[in-house]
Chains A and B, each alone.
Chain A
Amino acid sequence: DQQVKQNSPSLSVQEGRISILNCDYTNSMFDYFLWYKKYPAEGPTFLISISSIKDKNEDGRFTVFLNKSAKHLSLHIVPSQPGDSAVYFCAARSGGSNYKLTFGKGTLLTVNP
């Protein structure tokens, strides 16, 4: 049973346009959500996060939106750049003390020049 779902395996956008990556979750106990970026042959790197008590968090070109009622979050990248081409993982943390993250399957973003 997949608790964190990224239903789009891939996304292709033009440089300068907006990239929107989506993530759905099923576990109401998740209290923190994170996005990770992964280049080939490297480990994932933390990008941006949001607490379940907020609905938006912004960091430069990256904004994460959380809709708790829909159990949906999205990552917006504006403007998209070719260097943003990577696999993006959505992750969620269960409330509690063990800090375990559950990851989605990832979305491959390709930004075309």
Chain B
Amino acid sequence: NAGVTQTPKFQVLKTGQSMTLQCAQDMNHNSMYWYRQDPGMGLRLIYYSASEGTTDKGEVPNGYNVSRLNKREFSLRLESAAPSQTSVYFCASTLMGTGTYGYTFGSGTRLTVV
């Protein structure tokens, strides 16, 4: 019962470096999401994928790209990291169309950009 798995759990980057945050779910969910959590800001949506083959921007997409690799995996890429991207990143998934609206979240990736 893994649920939503995020890797890595911690990462330190230098300004300008790139990296990809990985997310995989094993619940046969069709929709996946990337959020960031900053102190005093709550959870803000970066990108989402309503279904395999589609991706859309959320509230704070600048500086990020995403790939829905298959139904299970949804990755978030920082092409040129900036200190403003220091945050905790959460991946979530849900099964759209079933009448339940709760997301299942991963345990997060804590990213520090220096």
Chain A interface residues (CB < 8 Å from chain B): 6, 9, 32, 34, 36, 41-46, 49, 89, 91, 93, 97-106
State the Cβ distance, B24 to closest chain A Cβ, in Å: 14
- Choose from A97, A100, A105 the contact partner of B41 (Cβ within 8 Å): A105
In the complex, the 6 A-B pairs of residues with the closest C-beta atoms, listed nearest first: A43-B105, A46-B102, A105-B42, A103-B43, A103-B42, A43-B107
- Choose from B58, B105, B106 the contact partner of A100 (Cβ within 8 Å): B58
B interface, by DSSP: helix, strand, loop or mixed?
strand
How many residues of chain B get a CB closer than 8 Å to chain A's CBs? 26
B33-55 residues with Cβ-Cβ distance < 8 A to A are: 33, 35, 40-45, 48, 50
Say whether B56 faces chain A, with CB atoms less than 8 Å apart: yes
Cα(A100)–Cα(B103), bound, Å: 10
Chain B interface residues (CB < 8 Å from chain A): 4, 31, 33, 35, 40-45, 48, 50, 56, 58, 90, 92, 94, 96, 101-108
14 contacts between A and B (CB under 8 A): A32-B101, A43-B4, A44-B43, A44-B90, A46-B102, A46-B104, A49-B101, A49-B102, A89-B42, A89-B43, A98-B56, A99-B96, A100-B33, A105-B42
